[in-house]
Amino acid sequence: METGQYLGEISALCFLHLSPQSPSLPYLLAGTGSQLLFYDLATSTMIASYQVFDGIRVHGICCMTSPDTESTFRVAVFGERRLKLFVFNVQLPDHDDKTLVNLVSVQCLPNLGHWILDVCFIQDSVDEGRQFIAIGCTDNSVYFLDMLTSTVSYQVSSPDRCLLYTMRMWGDKIDSIRVASGTIFNEIIVWKVVCGCYTPCLDNSPSKESDNHICNRKYKAVPVCRLAGHKGSIFRITWSLDGSKLVSVSDDRSARIWEVHDAKKDSKDSAEVTVSSSSGPVLFGHSARVWDCCMSDSLIVTVGEDCTCRVWGLDGTQLRIIKEHIGRGVWRCVYDPSSSLLVTAGFDSAIKVHLLHSSLPMGLTRCNGVEDHERKQIFTIQIPNTNRTGRMDSKSEYVRCMHFASENALYVATNNGVLYLANISETGDVAWTQLFRASEDIAIVCISVFPGVASSADNWIALGDGKGRLTVVRVVGLPTPEVNVSLTWSVEAERQLLETFWCESLGPTFIFTADPRGKLKLWRIESFSECLVAEFTSCFPIRIICLDASFHEEVLVCGDLRGNLVLFPLLRDLSLSTPASSVAHISPLNYFKGAHGISSVTSVSIHGSSSSNIGLRSTGGDGCICYLEYDKFEQKIDFIGMKQVKELSLVKSLFPNDNPDYAIGFASADFIIWNLSTETKVAEISCGGWRRPHTFLLGDIPEMKNCFAFVKDEVIYMHKHWVVASDKIYPQNLNLQFHGREMHSLCFIVDHTNNFQPSFIATGCEDGTVRLTRYSSGVDNWSASKLLGEHVGGSAVRSLCYVQKVHTFTDHTMSTAGAVIKQGTDLDDQEDQFLLISVGAKRVVTAWKRKSASTPKSEMLFQWLSSDLPNRKGGTKLNGSKKVETNGNVNNVSIDKPLPENTEVCGNDGNENDWRYLAVTAFLVKISGSRTSVCFIVVSCSDATVTLRALVLPHRLWFDVALLIPSASPVLSLQHVIIPELPSCKDKSQTKSVFTVISGSTDGSIALWDVTETVQTFLQKVSNLKKEDCRNFQRRPRTGRGSQGGRQWRSLDNSDKKPSTTSPKPSENKNTEDDMQDQTSLNMIQPLHVLKNVHQSGVNCIHVSDVKDSESCFSCNVVSGGDDQALHSFCFNVTGSDRRTSEMHFPHQVETSGNYQIMFSHPDKIASAHSSAVKGVWTDGRWVFSTGLDQRLRCWGVSTDGKLSEYGHLIVSVPEPEALDVRKYGINRYQIAVAGRGMQMMEFIAPAEA
């Protein structure tokens, strides 16, 4: 068994500096879990990783350059009571070669009796060539360890022996060491090491005669001062470079600066301890606990639980806020003054590198009217006729709208009908050119420029004014512009022209105009004249504010002010129309209501297409990016995915349009450019919000080339950052960004067609996110992690289930009396064959579908399929339920009227938000001869109920099929067993499948249900569903953000205005409470059998091996783990009821309704399999893998008689493991993934004789 790289929290950071003369950037060491990561900041790559401890987290790193050579480094790594010393040799690259790091030696130093808080390399006070390691521990003592002999030579203890959370040492020699300790009494104790009374050598081993002077050295601790002021526990302390100041951070959300002065001495040479308050400014700004800090000669950096990094001046001025981490916060930060590099890391495993300009603490500098800040320029300009001294009146001219022509040129339109071009020099001088002036002073209300990006010296500009007139101006010859064409005509009535649009795919010949009532007009401009080509009328009388069109795809897609998307046909014949042609009046093909809730759609684009589908992408005022597909044949729009950009409250657009890596938008009063790939903030500019006139321009590399202009108080503020892209781009993300909180579940996404492809693992987290992470061999094993989506309102994901096997259901009711379900193995035509089901808090169920489109082998893509959650009035009490059916029949279940979206199965309960789903298992059945398939989902709730649910595809209809009644205890784990093609005891030519559900409860029992008849009855009724009944009750996932949640979202389909006859009507939810009560009365299925007292407490996990067929008996192995630290296993056997049990010698037998019998054999129990609760198990019948809270992964062999024997174990780096899954690939090779506070992969190669 071998351990792999840990993916989780970063707990330590340290720079590794080359010689001061070297122009290269420093290296970076990072501690994560029990591992040490080595990064080259010049190339932003990981060049090595090392396993340091077994199961102990790396708490700190300290390094020094070896005196022998500048390329050799000594690195001390500590965690808990352990300390290791590494010696590295770094080989610098030549030309295109990579940096090589060689591990020269590893030295394990003796364990100490207390936890280690800080370590530093120092010299001997007398012999400077002799090196020591100073080790600060939680008992407020410092141990001096001789690096030559690896023995502790001195121990100096402070008289104050109180429990510490943090300690920092400063000094380069033993007698110059200063120690600052943060106590549980919210104080900082500062003491120093001085020569004092005799201290005997702690090492009793015989030493050389030349070393005797070391043991006879005299050192003692002398108090310096006690610093009081914090109102909470002190988490971190850092010293200034000269040792005269301290900075401390605390859970009182503040950082404090302290002056450290030596204590006064009396005649008896004893120090007088003084208590002083903070001598510098108190840094308030964090909204949660502050975890770490660092300090240089010019600035202070703090990071905290609010996921922000804040940069402060020494005077307490907050200079910058960086928020790019997620989850439980930023834990570590380091700053290198020589390179101005700031590195932050946290719970989300990301390591962010920022470049802080050396002038940052001095603020902005002004030169020739231009403010320069980190190579960024800020210009302030005003239009020529602005009244600079007096107040504005009704005749004053002001800016209505703007658009960038280039990074140095800006189009400005005013309320007096004037179009200006402002050319701005590098020094801030402005040259104004008037390009157009309307015949009368009427405001220009909208402007559009072709091409959409300012990359051409030939621009077509469309201006719409308050009289409803449209003016098209062609400007050539930037920066000395000339107006080549000017054309004006009436488009709408007065004040009815609100928007004008160019489409780059249509060229400057065609232009769209929009009115307030959802009507578009398409105009053709040719030979200095215009003609109306077509009118498009939306099914929603709401203003259209964005669109995209393509004659090639023959489609026009529009987004309106209320979050709706409308699709129109755009036939190629329209491009050939002449002025004599009649105007085409075009109705919508289809629409998608509430794509962005009730927030506006800010941009929409057509991206990619196939012979049958067209891809659509939109952004909105809800801070989301939505992905949709339009089916050309069925003329319907399907919602396939959504990404929430949490840093933006409004996403304005994406860049570049074809393959976007950047989101541009606003968060409150700030304009933000966000890198979607690295999850870093490219630019943040305070502007007052998106309602002000504004415009932006991005270059090929937005980190180096971006411009933004906005208007405030009649002044145009232009922020320009346009530099040569030869420099390195910051910020950088060195390590993969992962979940920011604990994970409760994971599962391998297995593709049996290629066992040797990279592994993909789906994980569900406490913050409600579901991610898909790729693992491959190499130095950086975790190569990619993609966010699939988020549960409603961020509700925690408790369990995941991957569905890849498809079973086929054939209905013989027309000709025979039975139905057949066959196990499918090769169903490439089934579009929904790979599903991922996630469940969690607030009883949310979400289904994800694997995309069937061809993708590279190293990629695997999922899209959102459907979500379901209870109605706000829903509860989980079993009120008014029907009579319990013990045989599992559901003859009374009616699906003629499917359950409306989110209808709950029980009565009201005021505490419904407290209920959560705990476990899930699912299987997929396809109805033969139909496109319909049903995913049956079994979920257990914290209210001790288990529900069999159904998701009918491709219609995305949710049904509650039956209630499975366990004992009075909640179910913690679920599995299912499907026995395919079991021969009937009456007619051997007939076969049927057996569907069995297995559960483990908090009372230690394991229960089994037979749901075969329920499944078959439901499938028969689904096959009779009429097409008109298959309405999509839910077509977009709820985000829980602002206008998307609750009643507002559910009322989106309730519109007084009926849409066009060519479009389907929105579904209406008119069910009364009586109707709902009638539908929510479900059958209940009693357990087939209950194995009581299998565990002494809760059954945390269950796993079932694949079904094996032998001599008409189908068998599988079941293994479970519980809170009682035990493992339990047994064999689960199914055979025809006519087979005699005496031949099988099974100790237990359960008969069903005459068709088959289930028997249990070979039980075994390991009472103390782990030293703590067992959290995850997996078996294939030959091997069993288990993990628990003891951070152990154990491998067990299964003998022929079912006995378990331990084969080996590993210590995992994952604190508090919560879940385990295993993938078998190749011959006798296994990959084991363990998740909890992070995730780690292990590999196991089974012996050939096993």
Which range (396-400, 632-636, 807-811) has the least confidence?
Answer: 807-811
Q: What is the pLDDT of residue 607?
A: 86
Give the model's confidence band at 343: pLDDT under 50 very low, under 70 low, under 90 confident, else very high: very high
Give the model's confidence band at 465: pLDDT under 50 very low, under 70 low, under 90 confident, else very high: very high
| Residue given tokens 């859970």 in the structure block | 251
* Peptide bond between residue 451 and the one before it cis (omega within 30 degrees of 0): yes
Which range (822-836, 962-976, 1080-1094) has the least confidence?
Answer: 822-836
Distance, CA of 430 to CA of 420 (rounded, Å): 12
* Angle at CA of residue 295, ends 290 and 301, nearest 5°: 40
Q: Is the pLDDT of residue 76 over 90?
A: yes
Q: What is the pLDDT of residue 485?
A: 83
Higher per-residue pLDDT: 129 or 382: 382
Which range (67-71, 1100-1104, 1192-1196, 1244-1248) has the least confidence?
Answer: 67-71
Q: What is the pLDDT of residue 871?
A: 65
Q: What is the mean pLDDT of residues 758-776?
A: 90
Q: What is the pLDDT of residue 898?
A: 39
Q: Is the pLDDT of residue 1084 over 90?
A: no
Q: Is the pLDDT of residue 643 over 90?
A: no
Query: E strands along 541-634, which residues?
Result: 544-550, 555-560, 565-569, 584-586, 590-592, 601-609, 613-620, 624-631
Q: Over the stretch 428-437, which tens digit does the pLDDT of each residue have?
A: 889 999 999 9
Higher per-residue pLDDT: 589 or 1024: 589
Task: For the chain, count helices (H), then strands (E).
Answer: 4, 93
Q: What is the pLDDT of residue 1053?
A: 35
Q: What is the mean pLDDT of residues 1130-1136?
A: 82
Task: Rank 506-520, 634-648, 752-766, 844-858 by mean pLDDT and report only the highest.
Answer: 506-520
Q: Over the stretch 174-189, which tens digit does the pLDDT of each residue have?
A: 888 999 999 888 899 9
Q: Is the pLDDT of residue 1049 over 60?
A: no
Higher per-residue pLDDT: 913 or 367: 913
Contact 570, 554 (CB under 8 A): yes
Give the model's confidence band at 480: pLDDT under 50 very low, under 70 low, under 90 confident, else very high: confident
Contact 732, 832 (CB under 8 A): no
Contact 505, 553 (CB under 8 A): no
Q: Over the stretch 516-565, which tens digit does the pLDDT of each residue have?
A: 999 999 999 987 788 999 999 999 999 999 999 999 899 999 999 999 99
**Residue 275: C-alpha distances to residues 223, 228, 237, 272, 442 (Å):** 11, 7, 17, 10, 72
Give the model's confidence band at 169: pLDDT under 50 very low, under 70 low, under 90 confident, else very high: very high
Q: Over the stretch 1003-1033, which tens digit does the pLDDT of each residue have?
A: 999 999 999 889 988 998 888 776 655 655 5
Query: Which amino acid appears at position 642 of this protein?
Result: M
Q: What is the pLDDT of residue 888?
A: 33
Q: What is the mean pLDDT of residues 868-876?
A: 58
φ, ψ dihedrals at 1216, nearest 5°: 50, 60
**Residue 982: C-alpha distances to residues 436, 977, 1135, 1158 (Å):** 83, 13, 8, 12
For residue 489, give the nearest of 521, 518, 457 by alpha carbon.
Answer: 521
Collapsed DSSP state (helix, strand, coil) of residue 573: helix
CA 731 and chain centroid, separation:
18
Q: What is the pLDDT of residue 708?
A: 96
End-to-end CA distance of the chain: 15
For residue 629, give the nearest of 954, 1062, 950 by alpha carbon.
Answer: 954
Higher per-residue pLDDT: 1094 or 832: 1094
Q: Give strand pairing partners of 1225.
A: 1229
Q: Is the pLDDT of residue 501 over 60?
A: yes
Give the model's confidence band at 930: pLDDT under 50 very low, under 70 low, under 90 confident, else very high: confident
Q: Is the pLDDT of residue 739 over 80?
A: yes
Distance, CA of 466 to CA of 662 (rounded, Å): 34
Q: What is the pLDDT of residue 71?
A: 78
Contact 324, 700 (CB under 8 A): no
Q: What is the mean pLDDT of residues 284-307?
A: 93
Distance, CA of 476 to CA of 911 (rounded, Å): 67
Mean of pLDDT over the chain: 81
Q: Is the pLDDT of residue 778 over 70?
A: no
Q: Over the stretch 1183-1206, which tens digit does the pLDDT of each residue have?
A: 999 999 999 999 999 998 889 999
Count the Cβ atoms, other than its own, within 10 Å of residue 537: 17
Q: Over the stretch 344-401, which tens digit does the pLDDT of each residue have?
A: 999 999 999 998 874 454 443 443 345 555 568 898 999 887 765 556 666 788 999 9
Contact 961, 908 (CB under 8 A): no
Q: What is the mean pLDDT of residues 801-819?
A: 68
φ, ψ dihedrals at 1176, nearest 5°: -155, 140
Which range (556-560, 1058-1062, 1084-1088, 1179-1183) has the least confidence?
Answer: 1058-1062
Contact 306, 292 (CB under 8 A): no
**Dihedral angle computed from the Cα positions of residues 750, 753, 759 and 764, in that order, rounded to the nearest 10 degrees:** -20
What is the strand order of the sheet 613-620 is part of? Answer: 601-609, 613-620, 624-631, 636-644
Can you give the three-state secondary structure of 682-716, one letter per residue? EEEEECCCCCCCEEEEECCCCCCEEEEEEEECCEE
Which sign, positive or negative, has the C-alpha torsion 119, 125, 128, 130? negative
Tokens of 1195: 């491998």
Q: What is the mean pLDDT of residues 296-319?
A: 93
Q: What is the mean pLDDT of residues 917-929?
A: 91
Q: What is the mean pLDDT of residues 401-417?
A: 91
Q: What is the pLDDT of residue 752?
A: 64
For residue 1009, give the nearest of 999, 996, 992 by alpha carbon.
Answer: 996
Q: What is the pLDDT of residue 273?
A: 56
For residue 811, give the nearest of 1000, 616, 1027, 1025 by alpha carbon.
Answer: 1025
Q: What is the pLDDT of residue 879?
A: 36
Q: Over the stretch 196-211, which tens digit does the pLDDT of each residue have?
A: 655 444 444 434 444 4
Q: What is the pLDDT of residue 818?
A: 45
Collapsed DSSP state (helix, strand, coil) of residue 1029: helix
* Angle at CA of residue 1223, ends 1221 and 1227, nearest 5°: 150
Q: What is the pLDDT of residue 249?
A: 94
Percent above pLDDT 70 for the chain: 78
Question: How many residues are present in the chain?
Answer: 1250
Q: Which residues of 336-359 are buried (b: 16+ CB within 10 A; e: fewer)?
A: beebbbbbbbbbbbbbbbbbbeee
Give the model's confidence band at 902: pLDDT under 50 very low, under 70 low, under 90 confident, else very high: very low
| Residue given tokens 């800020």 in the structure block | 378
Q: Over the stretch 214-258, which tens digit does the pLDDT of each residue have?
A: 455 678 888 888 898 899 999 999 999 989 899 999 999 999 999
CA 331 and chain centroid, separation:
18
**Residue 1202: C-alpha distances to residues 5, 651, 1113, 1160, 1182 (Å):** 33, 58, 17, 11, 9
Contacts of 844 (CB under 8 A, 6+ apart): 791, 792, 795, 867, 868, 869, 917
Q: What is the pLDDT of residue 677?
A: 84
